[in-house]
Each structure stands twice: as C-alpha cells, then as structure tokens.
Amino acid sequence: MSGSVTLQDVARLAGVSTGTASQALNNRPSVAQETRARVLDAARTLGYAFKETDNGTGGNPLSIIGLLTKHDYGFPFEVNAFYSYIQAGVESECRRHNMSLMFSNIEVDPSNHPVVWPAMITEQRIDGLILAGTFIENTIGLLGQRVDIPIVLVDSYAPNLPFDSIVIENINGATTAINHLIALGHTRIGVIGWAKNSPPSINERFIGYNRALEAHNISARYVEESGLNREEGYRAATQLLQHAPEITAIFACNDLTAIGAIHAARELGLTVPDDLSIIGFDNIDLAKEITPALTTIHVYKTWLGIFGVRQLIARALNPEQPKTSTTVMTNLVVRESTGRPRKQSI
C-alpha cells in the first residue's frame, strides 16, 4: 500500500510544499513543530514509510543524503573506476551514521548544462547533497537554487559559490610524480591527459608537471593534449613518441590514459620501462593488474567520500560556519613501469 503513496501525496494532505514535507519527515530543525506534526499525521494516515524516531546520529539532522555525479547525455552508462570508490566511501560513512543514501547521475549536454534533473532533486526527498566530479559553476548554482539543503563538493570546484569542498592535492601529487622520474635520471618527460578545456583538477596536475621541471631547470616540454581514457592515451602517446622520439618518460594525468600509453609503446616496439617509463595518477585497481604494473600517484578516493559526508553533517549542524575546503594529500606508489632512462637517447 505504502509503495503507491508519494511524498507529493503526503504534502498535499498536510497542506505544505513537497520540500517542507521532506524536511518534516527527516526531522529538520527548520520546520515548526506544528507543521511537522501535521506532516507526520498525513504520512501515517496514507501509510507513507518514514522514520518516526531520532536517527541515532547524536543530533545529526540528516537522514537521507544524495550523491550526484555527472553523465554526458546520449552516451552509454559505465562504471567509473575513480568515482565508484568515492561512492563506496559515502555509503560506508552513511551506514556509520545510520543515514540513507540516494545515488543518481545528472544528464548534461555538451556544454555541461543539465538536460534532465534527477528525481532526488525534483522530488526533494534528500536533506543533504554531495556533488562528485566536475560540474560547471552555473550548474552547481542552479542546484543550490532548487534545493535548500547543505551541499558539499567532492573533487569539484566552485570558488565563487558558498559551498564546502573536498579536493585532491593535485599539484603536489603531480610534482611528486615528475620528481620521481627526474630522480631516476629522466629529463625528457612528456605529458598526456591534459587539454586546454580540462577540468580544474587536471589543470592542477599539469601545473605540477611544469613546476617540477622548472624547479630542476629543465626547459624542454613535450605536451600532447588528450582526453582521459585509454583510447585517448593510446592516441596521444603514439603521436607524442612519433613527434619526439627522444622522450624517455611520460606522465599521464590519470591511470586510464597511462594504460593507453603502455599499449601504444608496446605497438611502437618500445619496452616499458627499459625504453620508456610511464607514470599515472589515481591508483585505480587496474593499475596494479596490467603488465608492467603501473607506477602512479595514489589518491585516497574512498576517504574523499567519507570526508564529504562528515563535512555535510558538520555543515548541517553549524550552518553559519565559514566556508571550508579540505585538501586530501596523495602519495607515490612505485611499481614496474618506471626505471632509469635508456642509455642511448636520440
């Protein structure tokens, strides 16, 4: 019976908006007691399922939070090797605080503008939201206008909006990667996975590449713009090595691009790492499973999700606190894809 009853039905019977009904059922402190009593009575009358007691989170006013990631409209849905870890972290922290989680993608057009808003937004059934990944600031602003709930950005950037964020230390991570290659003796180091329209996180990794070379007075730059998947990594590495065969190492701005580069090197008759060292960024599962195993920069992906939930709770409990940005550090994982440069370079 309750499965056929919607939040809109409860709101209609109680004489309130859908958003107010959601906040009342989730015991949000902003709802007047008289209004909350009316909504609860309507929900009981209709048989609408909800939690009637304190959620056991020590005063945490959040019961249901949403996790929203971006999906390009018209393209097939695929499991993301990076953001699936963030989702796992969000889920684990929600369980620890006895909260429910709703997950959805938001469809965007080629300009990154929303095509369809997910039901969790239109029905306002959540009382906190985590945005994971690259969203244009305009889209984040539109979301903030549609829902009056705490919002935390994870691996997402909106410096002109009043939302807390959890970000990766990309610049230092990339600098560490290049320093590792330089310590091995490389001075002719290429970069792939970056483009002029790259999201801020990738731009930061490109900045780290340049800073490390500058710090060691290495003037040569070898850049091939590309996307962040294996196909693009294969294409970019092939073109880079054909145009500049003197390169002895490649820094890829993520692991999928690095894996594509390994395949390209193999087809060009190069051995990794004897002829070419390759280093990635993110440390996805596949990084340790390929041959040779990929040297990479480890990102604490699950912790990004955990910190996102914790910051969401902190914001809900203290709505007036200053805007906060938490930076999560990275570390180098040395495997088999990097070594000393070949003795004879062109």
Residues found in the chain: 346
Residue 54 lies in a domain: no
For 117-127, what is each residue's pLDDT tens digit? Answer: 777 777 777 88
Query: Does 2 have pLDDT greater than 50?
Result: no
Residues 6+ away with beta carbon under 8 Å from 326:
164, 165, 166, 167, 307, 311
Same domain for 24 and 115? no
pLDDT, average across residues 316-326: 88
What residues make up the domain containing 308?
Answer: 64-168+302-330
Query: Does 159 have pLDDT greater than 90?
Result: no
Same domain for 90 and 163? yes
E strand or H helix that includes residue 153: strand 151-154
Same domain for 115 and 261? no
Question: Of all residues in the chain, what percent carry a pLDDT higher than 90?
Answer: 51
Residue 16 lies in a domain: yes
Residue 44, both tokens: 């009981």
Comparing 50-59, 173-182, 310-319, which segment has the lowest mean pLDDT?
50-59
Residue 346's pLDDT band, with cuts at 50, 70 and 90, is: very low
Comparing 71-75, 99-103, 146-150, 223-227, which segment has the lowest mean pLDDT?
71-75
Residue 94 lies in a domain: yes
CATH classification at residue 17: 1.10.260.40
Instruction: Give the CA dihedral 205, 208, 210, 214, nearest 10 degrees.
Output: -170
Same domain for 273 and 230? yes
For 233-284, what is each residue's pLDDT tens digit? Answer: 999 999 999 999 999 999 999 999 999 999 999 999 999 999 999 999 999 9
Same domain for 25 and 38? yes
Same domain for 223 and 144? no
Residue 56's pLDDT band, with cuts at 50, 70 and 90, is: very low
Residue 346 lies in a domain: no
DSSP 8-state symbol, 2: G
- Burial of 292 per CB tally in 10 Å (0-12, 13-18, 19+): middle
Query: Does 3 have pLDDT greater than 60?
Result: no
Domain count, the chain: 3
Residues 6+ away with beta carbon under 8 Å from 151:
128, 129, 130, 131, 140, 143, 144, 163, 164
* Contact assessment for residue 241 and residue 247, using Cβ atoms and an 8 Å cutoff: yes
Query: Does the predicted model carry a pTM greater than 0.85?
Result: no
- pLDDT for res 19: 82
